[in-house]
Structure 1
C-alpha cells in the first residue's frame, strides 16, 4: 500500500507498472476520512494519521475499508495517544486526589467488606500505592 500526495502515488504507479498496465486503485482522501468520522469530531491531523494507518494496514485488502473501519481506526489511535499522554501536576494536588481515592476505597471496604476495593479495582489500587510511595520519597 502507499500513502502520499497525488504526484508521489502516480509516480510510484508509473514506475511500478508502466502507463499501459491495467490496475485497480482504491483511493481514500483526507476529506473521505473526515466525512466518515465526522460524528466523532475528527481533526485533520487525526484524519491524516488514519490515512497513514490505511496505507500500512494489510487487512483491508481482504476485508475492505468502510466507515466502520475508519471509525475503529480513529478510536484505536485515540486510545494509543491517551495511554502515552503524560501530564504534570503539583505533588500537593496529586496527594489530594489520592486522599479522596483512598477515602472512597475505604468506604467501599466498609460497605462491602474488607478487600472489596482491591477486588473491584486491583490495578487502580496498585497504582495508588505506587504513587503514594513515590510521593513519600
Structure 2
C-alpha cells in the first residue's frame, strides 16, 4: 500500500519472512497507528523494492520498522515516495486539469493548510485539504516524534 500521508514506511513480519530478510530485534521503533501506540517487533535494514519493468524501472531501498503481523503487507510512506521521485511529493504540489484549466495547490508534508474554495452557491468556504494524522513514527528512545 502506498500512503502519501504516512511519514514513515512499515512492513509486516509475514512479508519479511516471505522475503527471507534479516531483522534487528534489538531496535524496536515505536509507531502510532490510528491513535493506538504500537511498538514494532524489530527493524529490517535496506529492503529494496523495484517499481516498473526492465529499463522502465527503478529500485528504492529503505529501512523498515517490522510490525508483528503474519499477513504479508507493506506500507510505503512519504519518505519512500520522495526517494522514488514521485512528482507530487518532490514538487510539493497537487496539480490537476479541470475543464481545460490547470489547478495547482501547494502541498506540505508537515502540516495541513486551509484554502478558500468557492462552493456551488459562490460562497467562500474555509476547508482543510489534509486529514488528521493517522500514523506517527517515533525514533528509538522517543527522541523524535512525527505525526502524519
For Structure 1 versus Structure 2, the TM-score category normalised by the shorter chain is under 0.3
Q: Which structure dedicates a bigger proportion of its chain to helix?
A: 1
Larger Rg: 1
Relative contact order, higher structure (CA 8 A, sep 6+): 2
